[in-house]
């Protein structure tokens, strides 16, 4: 499930409002903001994939995390994330290292993620709704996020939160519902999700000016779920630590 790419796409319009509050200070005028962007239309690039939030006995079925052609009417490639949740909890994610930050500087990170999804809103499912109980979650860390076996369960080794709740190193951007409310009306739609304002996540770059980011699908729906990641953008705004 490890697939590498990196290419740039023109990301316009992520407005980071009110950068103070929530674990950091005002923007630091001494350092520039850094914009990371990737378009999966050209492949997976420097992205690696993994999964978590299950035991060895409840491992997911049909797990896929790879670059694939987008479904019609869309064209190009996307990072396809899919699997059948057997434990009432399944996180499938991609991660990559971001460079170009200032060594030892602290940044507030605002995410903008575009996915393809086909799940109608307002439908009933096992364990949770197929749309409202499947979330797009992001995270960032100085150390590489890894899936580790802890107390008999596979978990990501950073405090990213879980399902609908974010954590110290993670934020939930929203769910995978489309604009359709007919539960038989499955139709692929593009959906863009962005960080809260002000963005809640901060991170300190390592000695090489690098950090890790992750983006994934976190399911509380006990059946099959799938999305395509299309684009990921992150604006890193330096925080003045006084």
Which percentage of the chain shows pLDDT scores above 70? 88
Which position has the token pair 């519902």?
177
Q: Cα(225)–Cα(136) distance, rounded to whole angstroms?
A: 12
Quick check: is 232 in a domain?
yes
Quick check: is 20 in a domain?
no
Question: So what's the pLDDT on residue 174?
Answer: 98
Half-sphere exposure (Cβ direction) of 55: Cα atoms closer than 13 Å? 6
pLDDT, the chain, mean: 89
Q: If we measure between CA atoms, which residue out of 122, 222, 213 comes closest to residue 175?
A: 122
Quick check: is 51 in a domain?
yes
Q: Would the pLDDT of 8 be above 90?
A: no
Quick check: is 207 in a domain?
yes
Quick check: is 13 in a domain?
no
pTM for the model stands at 0.87
Quick check: is 22 in a domain?
no
3-state DSSP assignment of residue 202: strand
Quick check: is 14 in a domain?
no
Quick check: is 3 in a domain?
no
Question: So what's the pLDDT on residue 87?
Answer: 83
Here the CATH number for the domain that contains residue 112 is 2.60.120
Task: Give 78-88 pLDDT, tens digit per residue.
Answer: 999 999 998 88
Q: Would the pLDDT of 176 be above 90?
A: yes
Query: What are 227's two structure tokens?
Result: 């999305």
CA distances from 21 to 144, 193, 195, 200, 201 (A): 26, 21, 14, 8, 11
Question: So what's the pLDDT on residue 12?
Answer: 34
Question: So what's the pLDDT on residue 11?
Answer: 36
Host domain of residue 188: 34-238
């Amino acid at each position: 499930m490890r697939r590498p790419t990196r290419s740039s796409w023109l990301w316009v319009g992520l407005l980071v409002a009110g950068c103070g509050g929530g674990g950091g200070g005002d923007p630091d005028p001494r350092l520039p903001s850094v914009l990371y962007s990737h378009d999966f239309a050209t492949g997976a690039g420097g992205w690696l994939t993994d999964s978590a939030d299950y035991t060895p006995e409840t491992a997911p079925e049909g797990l896929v995390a790879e670059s694939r052609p987008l479904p019609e009417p869309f064209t190009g490639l996307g990072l396809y994330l899919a699997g059948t949740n057997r434990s009432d909890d399944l996180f499938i994610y991609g991660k990559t290292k971001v460079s170009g930050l200032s060594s030892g500087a602290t940044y507030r990170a605002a995410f903008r993620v575009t996915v393809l999804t086909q799940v109608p809103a307002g439908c009933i499912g096992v364990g949770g709704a197929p749309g409202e109980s499947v979330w797009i979650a992001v995270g960032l860390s100085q150390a590489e996020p890894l899936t580790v076996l802890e107390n008999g369960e596979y978990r990501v080794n950073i405090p990213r939160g879980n399902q609908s709740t974010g954590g110290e190193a993670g934020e939930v951007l929203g769910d995978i519902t489309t604009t359709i409310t007919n539960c038989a009306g499955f139709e692929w739609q593009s959906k863009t999700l962005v960080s809260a304002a002000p963005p809640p996540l901060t991170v300190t770059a390592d000695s090489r000016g690098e950090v890790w980011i992750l983006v994934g699908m976190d399911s509380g729906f006990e059946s099959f779920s799938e999305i395509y990641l299309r684009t990921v953008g992150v604006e890193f705004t330096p925080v003045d630590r006084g």
